[in-house]
Amino acid sequence: MSTPPPLPDWTIADTRRAIRVPTARDDKYRRGVLGIRTGSALYPGAAVLSVEAALHTGVGMVRYLGSSEAAGYVLARRPEAVTAPGRIQALLLGSGMASVDPDGEDARAFASALAAGIPGVLDAGALHLVTTLPTANVPSAGPVLITPHAGELARLLTEAHEPFPAIPESPDAARAWIEDHPAQAGTLAAERWGATVLVKGAHTVIVTPHGAVTRLPPATAWLATAGTGDVLAGVIAALVAGAEATRSEDSGRGTPLTHDALAHAAAAGAHLHALAAERASAGGPLLALDLARALAPTVARVLEPGA
Ligand SMILES: NC(=O)C1=CN([C@@H]2O[C@H](COP(=O)(O)OP(=O)(O)OC[C@H]3O[C@@H](n4cnc5c(N)ncnc54)[C@H](OP(=O)(O)O)[C@@H]3O)[C@@H](O)[C@H]2O)[C@@H](O)CC1
Ligand SMILES: Nc1ncnc2c1ncn2[C@@H]1O[C@H](COP(=O)(O)OP(=O)(O)O)[C@@H](O)[C@H]1O
């Protein structure tokens, strides 16, 4: 494995470039529609948080396509969400779900979205799907981003069919190693499975399959509270839907979003998440739903000239 090259610091201008600002020519479909399959009977709150975060980051529409148990909570909180299936520009799967069955409906829906060239984001209970995607080496398939924390990445790496010599065998030791070496661990997963990897934690790092590494500035540690990762998944997926809407407008079908563009959306999403956390925390405890609501004014602030 080659040592990833150091990169310049991530800036507000970098984040601004990832936001699709609507124009007079736009309608809700042109801005990008995000499909969301998150939440479950056990964790319906994660569905609410991911939808809330995507809507406050800014998309033309969210299609909530997750479990019927969670859909009731999503709609009670956000009647803006549409539960009818239809065309989407990105798909988020896994936050608040127990281990997703690789042969089940959610995995099939994810695989067919990728096969149609649509980019996908895998979180929490769907992360392991990255190890079996039939589209990993198909150039026309949509690219995949995974968003594990160190514990989840430790599980992926230690349970891999072909072991990683650099990774300690026990999941606890692997987790500690990943916390100390997030870029190296992310690179191992990105190269093996052909996905862009965002390793979250106190230091968020994004790695593409060809080894480009982006490190975000440190975020407030008040983010270490339940549900903020579900919010992060919604933010990033919303930006990916916007990026795919722009790409398809510029280049049409046949050339999917690049991993560089996916990594840019991921880094911008993590940056917006960190800036919204500063706003929601104001130096004290923050709650995940308040973090999601802080995203809209944070986007407005980032778009201000001279921010
Ligand atoms: N509102 C919602 O709906 C929310 C829903 N959420 C959803 O929940 C799902 C699971 O996500 P997660 O990240 O919590 O689970 P996971 O990666 O398995 O980590 C478990 C690790 O933590 C450890 N551990 C546990 N308790 C511990 C303790 N007291 N003190 C210390 N360690 C402790 C535990 O260790 P062990 O018990 O094995 O020793 C294990 O290593 C996921 O789908 C997510 O989206 C969340 O986002 C929250 C809000
Ligand atoms: N100590 C910390 N400092 C800064 N950010 C943190 C810290 N701990 C966690 N975070 C951030 O908080 C979020 C937690 O995500 P995750 O672990 O998936 O939580 P959950 O599953 O409860 O939603 C991530 O964005 C992560 O980068």
d(CA 107, CA 96): 15
- Whether 110 has a pLDDT exceeding 70, the answer reads yes
- Please check whether residue 242 is in contact with residue 31, taking contact to mean a CB–CB distance below 8 angstroms: yes
Give the Å distance between the CA of 171 and the centre of ligand 1. 15
- For residue range 123-171, list pLDDT tens digits in order: 999 999 999 987 888 989 999 999 999 999 999 999 999 999 999 999 9
Give the Å distance between the CA of 221 and the centre of ligand 1. 17
d(CA 237, CA 173): 31
Percent of the chain scored above 70 by pLDDT?
97
Residue 263 confidence class, pLDDT cut points 50, 70, 90: very high
Q: Which amino acid is at 122?
A: L
Tokens of 263: 């990594």
Residue 283 confidence class, pLDDT cut points 50, 70, 90: very high
Residue 1 confidence class, pLDDT cut points 50, 70, 90: very low
- Please check whether residue 35 is in contact with residue 81, taking contact to mean a CB–CB distance below 8 angstroms: no
Mean pLDDT of the chain: 95
- 63: helix, strand or coil: strand
**β-bridge mates for residue 213, sequence order:** 207
- Provide the pLDDT for residue 225: 98
Pairing of strands 144-146, 196-199: parallel
Give the Å distance between the CA of 148 and the centre of ligand 1. 12
- For residue range 28-47, list pLDDT tens digits in order: 999 999 999 999 999 999 99
Instruction: Give the CA dihedral 297, 301, 304, 307, nearest 10 degrees.
Output: 180
Q: 28 among the known binding-site residues?
A: no
Domains in the chain, start-ordered, CATH in brackets?
A: 12-299 (3.40.1190.20)
Decide: 152 in ligand 2 pocket, CB within 6 A: no
Tokens of 201: 């934690």
Other beta carbons less than 10 A from residue 287's beta carbon = 15
Nearest CA residue ID for atom 22, ligand 2: 226
- Provide the pLDDT for residue 279: 98
Which atom belonging to ligand 2 lies closest to the Cα atom of 288?
23
Q: 204 among the known binding-site residues?
A: yes
Ligand nearest to the CA of 38: 1
- For residue range 171-197, list pLDDT tens digits in order: 999 999 999 999 999 999 999 999 999
- For residue range 8-28, list pLDDT tens digits in order: 689 999 999 999 999 999 999
Q: Is 73 exposed, middle or buried (0-12, 13-18, 19+ CB in 10 A)?
A: middle
Q: 149 among the known binding-site residues?
A: yes
- Please check whether residue 205 is in contact with residue 214, taking contact to mean a CB–CB distance below 8 angstroms: yes
Tell me the DSSP string of 115-134: HTT--EEE-GGGGGGGGS-T
Decide: 38 in ligand 1 pocket, CB within 6 A: no
Q: 200 among the known binding-site residues?
A: yes
Which among 8, 5, 10, 39 has a CA at the least distance from the CA of 266?
10
Which atom belonging to ligand 1 lies closest to the Cα atom of 125?
43
- Whether 6 has a pLDDT exceeding 80, the answer reads no
- Provide the pLDDT for residue 8: 66
Ligand nearest to the CA of 172: 1
**β-bridge mates for residue 139, sequence order:** none
Estimate the crossing angle of helix 44-57 against helix 295-303, to 10 degrees.
Answer: 20
Decide: 96 in ligand 2 pocket, CB within 6 A: no
- Whether 5 has a pLDDT exceeding 70, the answer reads no
Which among 117, 89, 145 has a CA at the least distance from the CA of 264?
145
- Provide the pLDDT for residue 306: 84
CA end-to-end distance (rounded Å), the chain: 38
Pocket test for ligand 1, best of 37, 73, 92, 95 (most atoms within 8 A of CB): 95
